[in-house]
């Protein structure tokens, strides 16, 4: 006797409908992004000033940089951050024709956090911490100790550093057609950021990759990073969502005419390894 089990069923028309729904969602998110981007452009200088006024110098020593093994001979390069979808605070190759790419160099205060941020994407699983979970993965990696000084860093852990920024965007509006489309697609109600708490929640989302990966638009943190770069900010100091410890997104492209630098703490294995980023050579790392 032959037994048969039906694993999946469907109609060709369902596939066509699903494809159309996905295309509609992508188009909706592009319009959603565009409406807000237009309003940000209208107050570009005010937004930039709000971050510049919140920035302060920041020095660090013995911090950690973890990279995949293939980047071992160039651990201070930020070029890998440009791969799709980019990093939490930088835009990668999502859609370069619509969203200009810009790099970031990601550092952490300790090795466990740096490791978890690079290859430990999950929170605690059972008795395993994010660091321990990362250690169970077979990926080949390299870790280096770094020291540096940045002239203009925005610490987004401090609510006061974001209050002026939020006061500028809290009155943004969305068009009625976009709101109607959101209802049709099941994305209603659309919400906009009106408080510092809401902004910090968006910046530190666990699943920030969903927006660029599923809908081909930058995540909120990537948009914020773009404003920071445009304002001349050299770094964003934040808390790891995996370990709760300090992390730093560095924007070397803003080192021009600055005394800022990041350098390796230990001797390099070869003279070919570049050991320092500063105003004189930052272009080589981005």
**15 in a domain, yes or no?**
no
> Tens place of pLDDT for every residue, the chain, 286 residues?
555 554 555 555 555 667 787 899 999 999 999 999 999 999 999 999 999 999 999 999 999 999 988 899 999 999 999 999 999 999 999 999 999 999 999 999 999 999 989 876 555 555 556 555 555 565 788 999 999 999 999 999 999 999 999 999 999 999 999 999 999 998 888 889 999 999 999 999 999 999 999 999 999 999 999 999 999 999 999 999 999 999 999 999 999 999 999 999 999 988 899 999 999 999 999 9
- Is the preceding peptide bond at 85 cis, omega within 30 degrees of 0? yes
Question: What stretches of the chain show up as alpha helix (H) in DSSP?
Answer: 12-42, 44-54, 111-119, 130-135, 163-169, 176-185, 196-203, 210-215, 220-230
**23 in a domain, yes or no?**
no
**110 in a domain, yes or no?**
yes
Q: How many CB atoms lie within 10 A of CB 177?
A: 10
pLDDT for res 19: 77
Residue 61 tokens, joined: 């020593």
CA–CA distances in Å: residue 237 to residues 51, 58, 122, 143, 162? 13, 9, 21, 20, 12
pLDDT for res 189: 87
**4 in a domain, yes or no?**
no
**179 in a domain, yes or no?**
no
Tell me the per-residue pLDDT of 107-156, one tens digit each, with 9 for 90 and over. Answer: 999 999 999 898 765 555 555 565 555 555 657 889 999 999 999 999 99
**5 in a domain, yes or no?**
no
**2 in a domain, yes or no?**
no
**64 in a domain, yes or no?**
yes
pLDDT for res 129: 62
Q: Which domain does 118 fall in, by range?
A: 45-174+191-285
Distance between CA atoms of residues 4 and 273, nearest Å: 61
Q: Structural domain tally of the chain?
A: 1
pLDDT for res 128: 58
For 128, the 3-state DSSP assignment is strand
Contact, 36 vs 202, CB < 8 A? no
For 229, the 3-state DSSP assignment is helix
């Amino acid at each position: 006797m032959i037994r048969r089990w039906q694993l999946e069923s469907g109609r060709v028309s369902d596939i066509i409908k699903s494809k159309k729904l996905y295309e509609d969602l992508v188009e909706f998110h592009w319009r959603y992004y565009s409406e807000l981007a237009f309003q940000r452009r209208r107050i570009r200088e005010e937004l930039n000033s709000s971050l510049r006024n919140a920035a302060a110098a920041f020095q660090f020593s013995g911090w950690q940089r973890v990279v995949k093994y293939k980047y071992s001979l160039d651990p201070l390069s930020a070029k890998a951050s440009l791969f799709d979808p980019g990093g939490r605070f930088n835009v990668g190759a999502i859609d370069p024709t619509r969203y200009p790419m810009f790099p970031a160099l990601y550092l952490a205060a300790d090795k466990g956090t740096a490791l978890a941020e690079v290859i430990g994407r999950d929170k605690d699983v059972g008795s395993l911490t994010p660091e321990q979970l990362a250690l169970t993965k077979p990926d080949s990696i390299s870790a280096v100790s770094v020291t540096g000084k940045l002239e203009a860093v925005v610490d987004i852990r401090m609510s006061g550093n974001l209050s002026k920024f939020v006061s500028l965007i809290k009155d943004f509006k969305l068009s009625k057609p976009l709101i109607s489309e959101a209802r049709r697609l099941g994305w209603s109600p659309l919400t906009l950021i009106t408080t510092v708490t809401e902004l910090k929640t968006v910046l530190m989302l666990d699943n920030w990759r969903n927006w660029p990966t599923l809908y081909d638009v930058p995540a909120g943190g990537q948009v914020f990073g773009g404003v920071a770069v445009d304002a001349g900010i050299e770094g964003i100091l934040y808390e790891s969502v995996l370990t709760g410890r300090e992390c730093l997104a560095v924007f070397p492209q803003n080192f021009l005419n600055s005394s800022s630098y990041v350098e390796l703490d230990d001797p390099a294995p070869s003279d070919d390894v570049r050991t320092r980023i500063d105003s004189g050579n930052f272009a080589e790392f981005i």
